[in-house]
Structure 1
């Protein structure tokens, strides 16, 4: 088993310590940081995603894998060149105004980071104005909104309206998700896509980046 395979396996197993050890060893051996990311760290999450989608892994296990991935990324990120960093797409993510749920959001953030995105996590109870300011500041390719309560679903409409009024709607793709949502609602409020779960959000985001 190569070091890349060992690193991928350690991410999949959610073994923080092993991920740190292998990552540091590969850096010391002169392996290119971007190769460590793509062939080792992200490859580990490529094992996780289909297993989660198939019901073979559950949210606590996925979050352990994602945490291990984050440990490795924190070591490698400072070593990435400006060129590598420029190729990373930014994703602004938040739970909409009035909603304090964050488990689903946190999982989406972790999986997006595992897909190579630079995620700006705005947290929970995020106002439309805060989304607009984040778009102005970070210039993301994609904006993601989630809600777990039926009473907060319409905050997504308010947020999209605010983004439109700010003249920014044509600059970003908007993805929405959460337990009470459904595809027709996403279409009705003018979102670009509905994500049934965290894995589909990652896959849809990757397609958006690849096609633009």
Structure 2
């Protein structure tokens, strides 16, 4: 099957919120040697479309959860294939990542988790709806180098600033590099709250993380 046909098949499976079809298509992607990074990008765009449909009640929560489960399952299948490129090193800098308090979005965070793992980092995904203390406590516990703070809604983006303020209050700000990302985030927002880095997508997040550690 041609690359474009598989891309469309995956988009259709996600838009139909068909978890089984998403997984089946992901397996086909691997078997046919289709460009996995291109597929992940297409999947991310499609999940954004689904999120928009959810906002206007064209898609409902049970359907969105099925699509999200399929997305995560596909990413788990893709990750070992991407790691075969030789990025898995013995000494991988540790990263914690999660979505802020009040934010239940997972897709962007999951894509960053996969791409940073492939890019040579050891990533601990803390999940969603996280207090600032959870980010900090987990980062301390595993001796992380970077804290990635995701916010996908304008109503939750202020929680990224709370995480940074919590770090300062604990006297730990200089111990970690803090990256922010998500739909409403911009470089100017990151600068205004004192974050160390910002990336608009998962591929960019890897480059930013590597630059932060190099500095």
TM class by smaller structure:
0.5 to 0.7
Q: Secondary structure at the match of 2:133?
A: helix
Report the CA distance between 1:121 and its aligned residue. Answer: 0.7
Q: Are residues 14 and 208 of structure 1, via their aligned partners in 2, closer, same or farther at CA, if it must alter by over 3 Å? A: farther
Q: TM-score, normalised by structure 2?
A: 0.64
Matched, 1:110 2:114: yes
What is the deviation of 1:159? 0.6
- 1:143 maps to 147
Question: Cα deviation per residue 1:82-136 (whole Å; 9 max; x = unaligned)?
Answer: xx53x11001101001111111111111111111211111100110111110121
- CA displacement at 1:206 relative to structure 2: 2.2
For residue 124 of structure 2, give the secondary structure of its aligned residue in structure 1.
strand
* Secondary structure in 2 matching 1:99: coil
Q: Over the residues paired in the alignment, what is the CA RMSD in angstroms?
A: 3.3
- Does the 8 Å contact 1:132/1:166 carry over to 2? no
Bigger shift: 107-116 or 58-67? 58-67
The answer to whether the aligner puts 1:178 opposite 2:182 as a matched pair is yes
Count of residues in correspondence between the two structures: 163
Give 1:194 deviation, angstroms: 1.4
Structure 2 residue matching 1:116: 3-state secondary structure: coil
TM-score (norm 1): 0.65
Aligned counterpart, 2:53: none
1:158 maps onto 2:158 in alignment: no
Match of 1:131 among 124, 128, 135: 135
Deviation at 1:67, TM superposition (A): 2.3
Give the whole-Å Cα distance in 2 for the aligned partners of 1:48 and 1:208.
26
2 CA distance for matches of 1:16 and 1:135? 37
Q: Give the distance between the partners of 1:14 and 1:116, measured in 2 at CA.
A: 23
Distance 1:107 1:177 in 2: 12
Is the Cα–Cα contact under 8 Å of residues 30 and 78 in structure 2 kept in the other structure? no
C-alpha distance in 1 between matches for 2:186 and 2:82: 34
Alignment partners' CA distance in 1, 2:117 and 2:159: 25
Q: 1:208 aligns with which of 208, 212, 215?
A: 212
